[in-house]
Structure 1
Amino acid sequence: MTHKVMTTQTLAWRQVGLVAAVQLVVLTALSGRYGFHRDELYFVAAGKHLDWGYTDQPPITPSLARLSTSIFGETPFGLRIVATLAAVATIIVIAYVARELGGNSTVQWVSSAVAALGPFVVAVSHMLSTTTIDMLIWSLLGLFVLRLLRTGDGRWWVAIGAVIGIGMANKWLILLLVFGLTVGVLTFGPRAVLRTWWLAAGVGVALVIVAPIMVWQAANEFPMLTVASGISEDDGGENRILFVPMQLVYLTPVGAAVWITGLVRLWRDPSLRWARALAASYPVVCVVLLVVGGKPYYSIPLLLLLIPAGVQPVLNWLRNGLRRSVVGVLAATSVTLALLTGLPALPPSSLNGPVLAINKEQGEQVGWPELTSNVARVWTQIPAERRATSVIFTSNYGQAGAIEHFGPRHTLPQPHSGHMSYWDWGPPSDSMTGAVLVVGGQPTQSSLLAGCRVVEENDNGIGLQNEEQGTPITLCDRTTAPWSVIWPQLRRFY
């Protein structure tokens, strides 16, 4: 029988609320700087094609993009309100995890602060991404599982099932945590939580939520699996090499010391024996990611769950004045670096060099209006009488999303692309027999287009060396076959 371990701690709303308020103010104040990230432009476009699934993701993040921009406007600020709220909710949940593990008010607010100030967390909290939402979902799942393990109350299986279902509707990586926790409970207990009909109820809730998403994926031949295998094939080796080092820097070295201490404490502290499954889940998840070549940041939400277990031992160790001073300097340096590299605090022209080397996503939020302007300038080189039957085709969804968003001010037509779900949204009509303006290299080197010549190379105007700087803008006279014929050959999964 599961022992019901009681906690007498209450949530320190005043202290945790202050951390959340500071995070809310900082993220809100900076959310309108720079511009959309390429993924955000894609989410905005996907939100205009609401469906139960997309080539590379389930529906939640595009749906939230649609909701946020519909209410607050199709601007970076309007889109990122939902991201900011998700980030604030995540650190509050981490405080609840600290409370669940017996942490007092100090442990709770310090856990929240350490979680909020990690470079990776700062970066993904600033903009809307599937990982922004995933951090919240993983944190909720960890909290509910800990509550189940601590109390033995089987009714928590219903909440766990709901979170897993919602997690599957955002990103299938939630299955990593589910697998890790399952192995942990089966190996270290308390296994009594598995002997209840509430477990079946939780499974049923998860299946009901995820059913329409799986039906969509099955009907479309599970494109998400194709995308995942492509990522593993292309980047798997690099991901494996970087995996361990990145675990130590994503939350700063100081944050790494805290979560490592938490991992050790969960193994050794007899009073937390009931939570050992959480500690076991981390190495399990790491092994899976190393085997499949998953990206190092996939495990970061799990590190947030380990932080609360490590805060009290670290605070005890810091009672020594010299240690406290040294760690304080390291922490201040790490936090400053996190804020400068994760948030749009610097002028865009200052990003070249160390900032982009640490966080290339900063550069992906700059230059999209300029790209669209450059495309528009080339578009005007097409004779006016041919533009009505001419097409803009882009090599990736960021370019397509930028032209879709900024193009109307230049009277550009709706762009097309073979990348990810843009391919699903269809080819141009076969009546579009005019010129083809291609942004990027694909497919100008193929036999699908004729009479191609590079007219211009994209320049963002500040020399920022991001992914689109120097992108060729090419004009082609025509396609070599109707769009409906060549469209299958233009599909790109990654």
Structure 2
Amino acid sequence: MVATDVGRRRDAPPPVAWPWVLCAASLLLAVLVAFSARYGPHRDELYFLAAGRHLAWGYPDQPVLTPLIAHLADVVAPGSLVALHLPSAVAMAVVVVLSALMARELGGRTGAQVLTMVATGTGVVTVFAGHLLSTTSIDTLFWVAISYAVLWTLQRDRPRGWLVVGALAGLALEDKNLVAFLLGAIVVGIALTPSVRHHLRSPWAWGGVAVALALWVPNLVWQALNGWPQLTLAADIHDEYGALGERLTFVALLLVQFSPATAAVWVYGLVRLFRRPSLVRARALAWAFVVLVAVFLLTGGKAYYVVGAVPVLIAAGACGLAERASRRWLVAAGAVLALSGMVVWPSALPILSERAFGQSLYVDINQDQAEMIGWPALVATVRSAVSSSGATLAVTRNYGEAGALEWYGLDVPVYSGHNGYAAWGPPPGSGGPFVLVGYDSAPSWAVGCRVVARVDNGVDLDNEEQGGAVQVCDAPAGTWQSVWSEVTHLSA
């Protein structure tokens, strides 16, 4: 009887605590939707909306999936921030569900599943990723889904699961090429884990590879035809974040991006996956995490790159805690985990007023949220410059400025040379005058420029656009066609 019971527990995971799972996912979704229309769109969202109006199989800085989602949201509900942010909110709600399912695959019952969801769902990086549409939001969902599919395949020793992994990977590669690192790290992890190494020889695994490559081909072709611009951007990111100080910041952010208390749980989970014999089949995911951290630490990656690899570690840690602790202790642990994340939520969600946020310490924690404030003021300033000068078009230095002018509306066409916008120009002809936005001084490709205004977001918030110059220029130094190569530039 004992042997039979042990075998049953090994082969059949515990039931899913569906009432708790659905409640937790719904609660997170409700919170994210409730705050989704405050502040404004992020500069990257404005760019994705513009890219969605120029759909292609790729762009210099990402594949097509996120711009496509932005486009669909804008078609369904034009100008709606709720609609624009909803896909990311749903993605993070699904992440919470998948985190509970991973705890279940590792043997966790209701207490472990709930603790996993609390730690994952209240993490500051989770709510921020769920508040704005970004490649990271969608990428995180795919990383967690792939991790769960790999865990399911290895734990149950069902090689056909690799076809699901391949399909998820192929879709993820049409959102962000970063998932290739996860796949490579998983292969290394399996190779380092003898009990699951036979999966590398499975025809189902190679079938999954074929599925992923087939789905990735359109973007690969686009990148090849356009000179692999993403490699140029990757080098730019390495130059910016490769210094020693940035590497120390990488380690610090890795430990706090969910919350410091949650970091203790996933570090414990990482140790359990390496040391617990009953979890040996899941050990490949622990190796994968170690490989990913090492690679990104050495190559100048950012800490949020590995966010999607953490929930399985949280699940492993929560399972260990649930095995050792009483129900009362688990409730207390869940409260600590939730509070340690929620205390930083104003840095990730627009809970405070714009002015209060700008004057708080939260802006130093997450400068990205500052880039969702002040766009209407910028557009009003540019609109006034256009009206007073009789300008026939506007040219901006970065895609955020161009996207804002298009989102909020300008009476003249908008152009930029930044990343994807470069392909949507140059303007026709060679005439002027035109309004120049975001350049500290007159560029060599423009003549007769004079500063007519400075951008003021109205809340004294020091973001990227605050204090930027708005100039009126007489004309380009030649035709737009001849100077466009000087206007265009790639940067992260």
Match of 1:338 among 334, 337, 344: 344
Distance 1:162 1:438 in 2: 45
Distance 1:365 1:150, change over 3 A: same
Match of 2:396 among 394, 397, 408: 394
Percent identity, please. 37
Do the aligned residues in 2 keep the contact of 1:351 with 1:362 (CA within 8 Å)? Answer: no
Do the aligned residues in 1 keep the contact of 2:63 with 2:175 (CA within 8 Å)? Answer: yes
Do the aligned residues in 1 keep the contact of 2:115 with 2:330 (CA within 8 Å)? Answer: no
Query: Deviation of residue 37 (structure 1)?
Result: 0.8
Query: Deviation of residue 13 (structure 1)?
Result: 0.8
Q: 1:406 is matched by which residue type in structure 2?
A: Y
Query: Deviation of residue 312 (structure 1)?
Result: 2.6
| Aligned residue in 2 for 1:414 | 413
Q: 1:426 is matched by which residue type in structure 2?
A: G
Q: 2:396 is matched by which residue type in structure 1?
A: T
The unaligned stretches of length 5 or more in structure 1 are none
Q: Any residues of structure 2 matched to 1:207-222 within 5 Å, and which?
A: 207-222=213-228
Q: Deviations over 1:458-487 (max 9, x none)?
A: 001121222111111111111111111111
Do the aligned residues in 2 keep the contact of 1:263 with 1:310 (CA within 8 Å)? Answer: yes
Distance 1:193 1:330 in 2: 39
- SS state at 2:310 partner: helix
The TM-score normalised by the length of structure 2 is: 0.94
Match of 1:155 among 149, 153, 160: 160
The range that moved more, 52-61 or 110-119, is 110-119
Do residues 179 (structure 1) and 152 (structure 2) align? Answer: no
Query: Deviation of residue 186 (structure 1)?
Result: 0.5
Do the aligned residues in 1 keep the contact of 2:103 with 2:319 (CA within 8 Å)? Answer: no
Distance 1:398 1:426 in 2: 16
- SS state at 2:463 partner: coil
Do the aligned residues in 2 keep the contact of 1:266 with 1:273 (CA within 8 Å)? Answer: yes
| Aligned residue in 1 for 2:45 | 40
RMSD, matched Cα: 1.9
Match of 1:303 among 296, 310, 334: 310
Distance 2:336 2:207 in 1: 48
| Aligned residue in 2 for 1:478 | 475
Do residues 224 (structure 1) and 230 (structure 2) align? Answer: yes
Do the aligned residues in 2 keep the contact of 1:261 with 1:314 (CA within 8 Å)? Answer: no
Query: Deviation of residue 305 (structure 1)?
Result: 2.1
Distance 1:319 1:404 in 2: 56
Do residues 142 (structure 1) and 142 (structure 2) align? Answer: no
- SS state at 1:251 partner: coil
Query: Deviation of residue 172 (structure 1)?
Result: 0.9
Distance 1:267 1:9 in 2: 22
Query: Deviation of residue 316 (structure 1)?
Result: 5.2
Q: 1:471 is matched by which residue type in structure 2?
A: G
Q: 1:217 is matched by which residue type in structure 2?
A: Q
Do the aligned residues in 2 keep the contact of 1:403 with 1:414 (CA within 8 Å)? Answer: no
Do residues 253 (structure 1) and 250 (structure 2) align? Answer: no
Distance 1:138 1:14 in 2: 25
Distance 1:132 1:266 in 2: 26
Distance 2:189 2:463 in 1: 42
Alignment size in residue pairs: 481
| Aligned residue in 1 for 2:3 | none
Distance 1:230 1:110 in 2: 39
Do the aligned residues in 1 keep the contact of 2:150 with 2:165 (CA within 8 Å)? Answer: yes
Query: Deviation of residue 330 (structure 1)?
Result: 4.7
Do the aligned residues in 2 keep the contact of 1:50 with 1:59 (CA within 8 Å)? Answer: yes
| Aligned residue in 2 for 1:362 | 369
Do residues 462 (structure 1) and 464 (structure 2) align? Answer: no
Distance 1:27 1:20 in 2: 11
The TM-score normalised by the length of structure 1 is: 0.93
Query: Deviation of residue 319 (structure 1)?
Result: 4.4
Query: Deviation of residue 324 (structure 1)?
Result: 7.5
Distance 1:107 1:332, change over 3 A: closer
Query: Deviation of residue 85 (structure 1)?
Result: 1.1
Match of 2:284 among 266, 269, 277: 277
Distance 1:318 1:351 in 2: 39
The unaligned stretches of length 5 or more in structure 2 are 1-6
Q: 2:478 is matched by which residue type in structure 1?
A: A
| Aligned residue in 2 for 1:453 | 450
- SS state at 2:312 partner: helix
